[in-house]
Amino acid sequence: MFSALTLVDTINMVVGLLTIGLGLLGWLAPRWTMQQLDMVAGPTNMAYTEISAVSGCLFVGLGLGAIYLNEPLGWVVVGIAYAGAAVGRVTAIFRDNAASRQSWTFFASEAALASWLLLANT
């Protein structure tokens, strides 16, 4: 799997590991993640399970799947997920008047990762 990796393969693997790392933070440290995202849990604490699932294990699974397959289509799927996150974030920035340096930085990161994965693997 790791023999004779091209530059595209290497960058894809780094993006996959980054995706897994960010997912692990969401999954295993939901309170910390929520603090970074300026979020608070309500009376049911459902927010913790949502962060663990959506900001956590979903990205762990995407990264692991793409690394395991190491096929262009697998990387494109991860790119589509990042593109969806970027679209959702920029929509919320304008719709909810949520512009901040952090929001724009997250958007730029998601858009950059999506761009790389989609352009380099199609």
Q: Where are the domains of the chain?
A: 7-120
Q: What angle do CA 25, 36, 81 make, to 5 degrees?
A: 60
pLDDT exceeds cutoff 80 at 3: no
User: Is the overall model pTM greater than 0.95, yes or no?
Assistant: no
Query: Which pLDDT tens digit goes with each residue over 8-38?
Result: 999 999 999 999 999 999 999 999 999 999 9
- Band the pLDDT of 1: cuts 50, 70, 90: low
Give the integer Cα–Cα distance in Å for 114 and 108: 10
